[in-house]
Amino acid sequence: MAISEFSIPFRYKTNKSNPFVWLLSHTLHHWAVFLAALIGAIGNAAFASIPAVQFGVVFTNLTSGAPDKNIFIRAALLITYSQVIRALFQLMRNFGFEITAQKIERDVRDEFYISLLGKSMTFHSLQSVGDLMARATNDIREVNFLFSPGINMVFGSINFLFIPLVIGWQINPALLLTPVLFIMAYCISIAVYMKKLRPVTNNVRSSFGLMNSRLAEAIDGVETVKAAAQEESEIALFRRNIKAYRDASVEQGDMEARFLPLLLLALAMGFGLLHALVLFQQGAIPLGDVIKYFSALSLLSFPTNTSIHSYSQISLGIAGARRLLSVMNTENNLDKNDTGRAQPLRGEVRFQDVSFSYDIHKTALENISFQVQPGQTVAIVGQTGSGKTTLVRLINRTYDPSEGSVQIDGADLRSWKLDTLRSQISIIEQDIFLFSKSIAENIAFSKPGASRAEVESAAQKAQAHAFISALPEGYDTIIGERGVTLSGGQRQRIALARAFLTDPKILILDDSTSAIDSQTEDEIQRAIKAASEGRTTFIITHRLSQIRWADLIIS
């Protein structure tokens, strides 16, 4: 069971031990609509057999020498009524499976998103955003298609396999030979087909994820690509990824083209008709029963033809579910600790022999020890890559130390309730992330219920009120994704306002004033100085203006 640091559990319990059990646990949650779909599938097949029987009755009546008009009328009415009822069962089947598919897609998407938010930054720092997006969109969509049309067609058609058995037994037990042999060969060939198809469909899904991953990287870094004039090389790389996905899809199509049950169907139809004619010549059955039996055998074409794509769709859905579970079952190294300490922070921070490694080959911090009293300001300086950002990320448990302990107010961070801890710590990154929402919503992101007065007050403290008010729609101005419509300094001042609004006990500034112009630097410095009063503040900086008023310097 994967450990989650996120505090909102999924709405119902699912078993994520393997794709089949996981999908079954989702299906059982919607058992009523799924059961209705199964009843529709069984009813549809049962009423599909009535025309085959009536065709034999009509032919027998025609060749009897004294045709009975009432038999024709009765057969016609029976076929008509039965097919109307069959249409209702077919509607129940299709509607039931489609509703099941949509409900499960919604639930899987919800569960996967909750799982992603629950993963630690250690996990996310090693993941490709494009591949995660491929899983969250296309792989989940494949799970939908697994149920409809996949399982819909399988359950809808598999019942047709038994109609020739029933009708053949009623006519002459010897006629069971052909459908029994066909069903045995059909099941074996499907099992072999699915076994061969599994690695192919896995390759289809993984190659799509790789293609999507590289596409996301190129779009996200388009400015770098253009600045380095590498458009052609990126296009060439993307074409190679497209080719890999195309080749995987063509391989899947090639396997579908060589689908053995199509040959088995042709053999069954020919052998079954021959067997029935031999019995007719022997006087064992009338000619009308030959028509009835052959009509029943023709119903085998439905499960055979639909299985070409339905089993491929199921295999793709299972491959998608397997990719989703590989992410969801990845262990986190952080625990939310619901029963941990939940009192307000005082702001005392202590590092005791702390070491941290992203992996066994890369040590970021080694034997770090220091202590900060509540309300002190700490300047962290050092060369690029020396681990400054990593150090402050240990304070709010973005990561946990590999060795040693980080303590707040005398208690190890692991003993604190995670959401209580993080709600009292604000981090302003060097690379500011803003959402494609209004400025007011971005400032109030950490405090959704904040009033407009609180938002404007925080903006004033961050020296952001003036430029926000000058915008066409003021605080209601929608900014582009990641805040691309704002300058670097404006983005950082909005981030400062966001931090001021939450009134944290511990404030961490990760070189957050690097993009602020010299004209407003002094004002920002005064705002940061005022904001640091009464709270523990960590500042990663290279500016002497910030270092000089620090109580402690760590280098």
CATH number at residue 393: 3.40.50.300
In this structure, the number of other CB atoms found within 10 A of the CB of residue 107 comes to 18
Task: Verify that 176 and 275 share a domain, yes or no.
Answer: yes
The domain of 248 spans 19-328
Task: Please report the DSSP string for 414-443 in residue order.
Answer: GGB-HHHHHHTEEEE-SS----SSBHHHHH
For residue 338, tell me if it sits in a domain. Answer: no
Task: Verify that 305 and 416 share a domain, yes or no.
Answer: no
- With 0-12 / 13-18 / 19 or more C-beta atoms within 10 angstroms meaning exposed / middle / buried, residue 555 is exposed
Checking DSSP bridges between strand 425-428 and strand 506-510, what pairing results, if any?
parallel
E strands, 70-206, in order: none
Place of tokens 């404007």: 456
Close Cβ partners of 466 (under 8 Å, ≥ 6 residues apart): none
Task: Please report the DSSP string for 249-277 in residue order.
Answer: HHHHHHHHHT-THHHHHHHHHHHHHHHHH
Per-residue pLDDT of the chain (555 residues; tens, 9 = 90+): 344 444 456 788 888 889 999 999 999 999 999 999 999 999 988 888 888 888 778 877 777 667 778 888 888 898 899 899 999 999 999 999 999 999 999 999 999 988 888 777 667 766 777 788 888 888 999 999 999 898 998 888 888 888 899 888 988 999 999 999 999 999 999 889 888 888 888 888 888 888 887 787 777 777 677 766 777 888 888 888 889 989 998 988 888 887 788 888 899 999 999 999 999 999 888 888 888 888 889 889 888 888 888 888 999 899 999 999 988 887 665 666 777 788 888 888 999 998 888 766 677 788 888 898 988 888 888 777 778 888 888 888 888 888 889 999 888 888 888 878 888 888 877 777 788 788 888 888 878 788 888 888 888 887 788 888 888 888 888 886 666 677 777 787 888 888 888 778 888 887 765 555 556 566 666 666 666 677 888 888 776 666 777 788 887
Task: Verify that 206 and 318 share a domain, yes or no.
Answer: yes
Task: Verify that 211 and 65 share a domain, yes or no.
Answer: yes
Backbone torsions φ then ψ of 352, nearest 5 degrees? -125, 105
For residue 478, tell me if it sits in a domain. Answer: yes
pLDDT value, residue 514: 56
Closest CA to 98 of 146, 134, 147: 147
For residue 27, tell me if it sits in a domain. Answer: yes
List Cα–Cα distances, 421 to 49, 121, 531, in angstroms.
67, 16, 19
Distance from first CA to last CA of the chain, Å, rounded? 40
Task: Verify that 56 and 125 share a domain, yes or no.
Answer: yes
- With 0-12 / 13-18 / 19 or more C-beta atoms within 10 angstroms meaning exposed / middle / buried, residue 384 is exposed
- For 448, the 3-state DSSP assignment is coil
Output b/e per residue, 119-144; b: 16+ Cβ within 10 A.
bbbebeeeeeebbbbbbbebbbbbbb
Close Cβ partners of 455 (under 8 Å, ≥ 6 residues apart): 440, 443, 444, 475, 497, 501
pLDDT value, residue 1: 39
pLDDT value, residue 50: 86
Which of these three, 297, 328, 359, is where a domain ends? 328
- With 0-12 / 13-18 / 19 or more C-beta atoms within 10 angstroms meaning exposed / middle / buried, residue 417 is middle
Cα separation of 424 and 536, whole Å?
11
Q: How far is C-alpha 476 from the geometric centre of its chain's CA atoms?
A: 32
Which of these three, 328, 363, 389, is where a domain ends? 328
For residue 1, tell me if it sits in a domain. Answer: no
For residue 336, tell me if it sits in a domain. Answer: no
Task: Verify that 375 and 309 share a domain, yes or no.
Answer: no
**How many CA atoms lie less than 13 Å away from 117 in the CB half-sphere?**
11
Helix orientation angle between 31-62 and 69-118, rounded to the nearest 10 degrees: 160
Task: Verify that 220 and 367 share a domain, yes or no.
Answer: no
Report the CATH number at residue 166.
Answer: 1.20.1560.10
List Cα–Cα distances, 148 to 35, 107, 216, 330, 525, in angstroms.
15, 16, 29, 29, 60
For CA atoms 13, 17, 19, 25, give the dihedral sign.
Answer: negative
Task: Verify that 159 and 282 share a domain, yes or no.
Answer: yes
pLDDT value, residue 88: 94
Q: How far is C-alpha 538 from the geometric centre of its chain's CA atoms?
A: 37
E strands, 458-522, in order: 506-510
Task: Verify that 428 and 510 share a domain, yes or no.
Answer: yes
Which of these three, 258, 293, 328, is where a domain ends? 328
Would you say 508 and 477 are in contact if contact means Cβ atoms under 8 Å apart? no
pLDDT value, residue 545: 63
Helix orientation angle between 488-502 and 518-532, rounded to the nearest 10 degrees: 10
Residue 326: beta bridge partners? none
pLDDT value, residue 524: 63
Would you say 308 and 165 are in contact if contact means Cβ atoms under 8 Å apart? no
Domain tally for the chain?
2
For residue 254, tell me if it sits in a domain. Answer: yes
The H or E element containing residue 554 is: strand 552-554
Closest CA to 295 of 546, 31, 57: 57
Residue 174 in tokens = 């010897």
Would you say 132 and 116 are in contact if contact means Cβ atoms under 8 Å apart? yes
Task: Verify that 265 and 367 share a domain, yes or no.
Answer: no
Q: How much is the pTM?
A: 0.72
DSSP symbol at 216: H
Task: Verify that 279 and 383 share a domain, yes or no.
Answer: no
Cα separation of 351 and 408, whole Å?
9
Cα separation of 41 and 90, whole Å?
7
For residue 425, tell me if it sits in a domain. Answer: yes
pLDDT value, residue 2: 42
Task: Verify that 217 and 291 share a domain, yes or no.
Answer: yes
For residue 14, tell me if it sits in a domain. Answer: no
